[in-house]
Amino acid sequence: MSEITTFCHSFKKDFIARPQNPQRPVHCWSEKDVLDGKIVDAYVIILRTRGCSWALSSGCTMCGYFNDSMLTTLSEEDLLTQFGVALQGYKNEKIVKLFTSGSFLDPSEIPVRVQQQILSTLNDTADKISVESRPEYITKKNVQAIQEKIPLKYFEVGIGLETSNDLVREKTINKGFTFQDYITAATLLRQHKIGVKTYVLLKPPFLTEQESLNDCITTAKDTASYTDLLSLNPTNIQRHTVVEYLWNRNQYRPPWLWSIVEFLQQSKRLTDAFVKCDVVGGGNIRGAHNCGVCDRRVLHAIEEFSLTQNTEVFRDLSCDCQEQWHDQLDLENLSFGSLVDFARWNP
Ligand code: SF4
Ligand SMILES: [Zn+2]
């Protein structure tokens, strides 16, 4: 095990899962999304599972999804009961996003029989179904099994690539797979007419704001021929993670919203993929934030862009804190990434 792998593992070693009901999903809600160029309703279901297999052995530096996992295998009956509970709030939204805080296609999280039953049920009502998976579970066998079962109009698999740079993915994220693994999985999906969504991580630990922004922009370029959708994922501080460890020591600041705006504008010129960003915890001290005065306005523009792809929404945005953001981009490399987050600093 490398040092970073061991460090990530150390956060789970003595972790005891909270008592949770195996028959209730983590969360379900309705939101807006885009299908065939039109804004439509989407229903999001987060199923509670055993947890991501990678997280159980080590996990990524920024990921605290295991906090909501059972860490023990759930029965097929429990998983289908959860799905049934989730369906009680489903109003035939055209898009259904099925997340597990891990990999939907990992049979140790969701047995194949359960995967197929869930997808066949949704096939009657949804025009698009979106799931997430690590590349190792995107195999010919799995893909063909899904296609035989559900001749869907549109099926999409999201892959948390985070960066096209293998060194950054290995040393700062501890992701456990390579860019080539992503390319192989994405190519297989596209050969089977399945959509590819690629998650890109803004601000992993140990990179400065400028280094991370550059890395995300390069990743947008490098993934242009493999993905249909590029989803920027700004790091937020999740519990029991390496990122939280550093943040507690004032050695990490979540990304600026200005960096997100910069990425969205630049990447739109580099890729034909649909580009979006859901800012989890945006405007909060643990999420991507600016000065506090302009955050709501900027978040609203990011949301609007993510539905319309119109970069004009960013045109009239400005705030005094942009200067501070520029300073951070210019100076942080010189200060070894240890600039103070003034929003937190109350001496
Ligand atoms: S980010 Fe994805 S792959 Fe990494 S530990 Fe979390 S769920 Fe698993
Ligand atoms: Zn501001």
| pLDDT tens per residue across span 144-168 | 988 887 776 789 999 999 999 999 9
Query: From the CB of 55, is ligand 1 less than 6 Å away?
Result: yes
| pLDDT(346) > 70 | no
Looking at residues 1-8, what average pLDDT do you find? 92
* Distance between Cα 30 and ligand 1 center (Å): 24
Q: How many domains does the chain have?
A: 1
In ligand 1, the atom with minimum distance to the C-alpha of 52 is 8
d(CA 173, ligand 2 centre) in Å: 29
pLDDT higher than threshold 70 for residue 107: yes
Is 62 among the domain residues?
yes
pLDDT for the residue 247: 95
Regarding the beta carbon of 63 and ligand 1, being less than 6 Å apart is answered: yes
Q: What is the mean pLDDT of residues 267-293?
A: 96
Q: What CATH number does residue 205 fall under?
A: 3.20.20.70
Element (H, E) at 231: strand 229-234
Ligand 1 proximity of 54 Cβ (cutoff 6 Å)? yes
Per-residue pLDDT of 205-226, as tens digits, reads: 999 999 999 999 999 999 999 9
Of the bound ligands, which one is closest to the alpha carbon of residue 290?
Answer: 2
Q: What is the mean pLDDT of the chain?
A: 94
Q: Is 158 in the pocket of ligand 1 (CB under 6 A)?
A: no
* Residue 268 binned pLDDT confidence (cut-offs 50, 70, 90): very high
The amino acid at residue 210 is: Q
Quick check: is 341 in a domain? no
* Count of Cβ atoms closer than 10 Å to residue 274 Cβ: 17
Q: Is residue 246 situated within a structural domain?
A: yes
Nearest partner of 162 among 60, 65, 92, judged by Cα: 60
Q: Is the pLDDT of residue 259 over 50?
A: yes
* Closest-approaching ligand to the CA atom of 297: 2
Which sign does the torsion angle of CA 73, 170, 140, 152 carry? positive
Is 60 a pocket residue for ligand 1 (Cβ < 6 Å)? yes
Residue 340's pLDDT is 64
Evaluate whether residue 342 is within a structural domain. Answer: no
Please give the span between the terminal C-alpha atoms of the chain, in angstroms, as a whole number.
Answer: 40
What is the structure's pLDDT at 101?
Answer: 87
Pick the range with the lowest mean pLDDT from 46-60, 139-153, 228-242, 250-264: 139-153
The response to whether residue 52 sits with its C-beta less than 6 Å from ligand 1 reads yes
Q: Quick check: CB of 62 below 6 Å from ligand 1? A: no
How far apart CA 80 and CA 76 sit, in angstroms, is: 6
Q: How far is the CA of 52 from the centre of ligand 1 (A)?
A: 6
Residue 277 lies in a domain: yes
* 142 pLDDT more than 50: yes
Nearest-5° angle of CA 284, CA 296, CA 242? 25
Q: Which ligand is nearest to the CA of 318?
A: 2
Ligand 1 binding pocket includes 65 (Cβ within 6 Å): yes
Residue-wise burial string across 170-182, b where 16 or more C-beta atoms lie within 10 A, e elsewhere: bbbbbbbbebebb
Q: Whose C-alpha lies nearest to ligand 1, atom 2?
A: 102
Structural domain for 198, as ranges = 3-331
**Considering only CA atoms, which residue is closest to atom 3 of ligand 1?**
54
Does any domain span residue 344?
no
Q: Does some domain include residue 120?
A: yes
- 159: nearest Cα among 197, 189, 190: 197
Q: Is 128 in the pocket of ligand 1 (CB under 6 A)?
A: no
* Model confidence band, residue 347 (pLDDT cutoffs 50, 70, 90): very low
The mean pLDDT value for 87-113 works out to: 96
CB atoms within 5 A of ion ligand 2 belong to 290-291, 293-294, 319, 321
Q: Does the residue 234 lie in any domain?
A: yes
| pLDDT more than 70, % of the chain | 97
For ligand 1, whether the C-beta of 220 sits within 6 Å is no
For ligand 1, atom 7, name the residue with the nearest CA: 102
